[in-house]
Structure 1
């Protein structure tokens, strides 16, 4: 039986975790095994380390390390506001743009023009003529109206009704509208009244 000093036992006891994990080199592993064969206290300590290691591994397996992350992800997903609809995203982008008032006016005018077209479906479809680079209906425009950027559609619509005229084309990207008069002979007086409106930047007679 080998004689072990207290220092030897302390050194060998410190090697037990590495022996249990099988990370010792062969010479040290044989030395630890020889000591365990003759030291009951050493064998008991090794059994204790084995029990602790087994219990720790079982606890980790039962805990499911990703369960906490999955619960957090589910809570974040539940608290996330719903994504805005496409038209809301479009409107937000338009509102942040410099030309938001003109864009809103253009949308409203297009809607009114579509309603006007539906109203006139029972009438004969006019032929199309061209003046410059812009296509014009056979009922050619009498005035070209340049609308201010901050003009409200409701105010502009009321102005056109008061002056007995309506939109036949537009708006363009720069806010221009082509206007036809219910009474073409009144073009000059109507032009003067429209030019005096705070909604209008400029009014031009369309030469024929």
Structure 2
């Protein structure tokens, strides 16, 4: 589910996404990182919400990953991110977000420190079928002191109540936890707005006051 090309429900793209030039009025850019386990939907989220054609470093999965990557819960997945995904979304006339989707496989975790550098905050994308894959992400973000929100990407299968997910992840009440569908632009946009508002509450309450709902 980490890639639109490997997600049948997302549907094929008919061609390149239209590019959206950066506005002349933009004065400030912020970096957001999307992290999560292998195949949880990070590439899909970046692709669904980015206003530009996302830069993706996906490669076809081969036999070299057998015994290293665990595709048991994402049997349809044929590609995997080997560096990062990159996209952009405009918040208002002066501010944009640059989105970086981190690779989920353990063998690429060494890249995370570079992606975290200069980041304003993070989205932890989780799959309720594999919540344990999120523990390392949460530990790393807490170790870096980076603010984050958690988004539950609802796949087929059991749909436990959101508060049960909070309990399972031992998330404090102050960390926002939301449902989402990483394939849907409006849903992914809501996750990012939730993060930005969380950051505003933690820092300067007036910093993002013109963000559209």
Where on the TM-score scale, by shorter chain, does this alignment land: which range?
under 0.3
Query: What TM-score, normalized by structure 2, do the two folds share?
Result: 0.21
Q: Which has the larger helix fraction? A: 1
Richer in strand (by share): 2
What's the TM-score, normalizing by structure 1?
0.21
Greater CA radius of gyration, 1 or 2? 1
Which protein, 1 or 2, shows the higher relative CO under an 8 Å CA cutoff with sep ≥ 6? 2
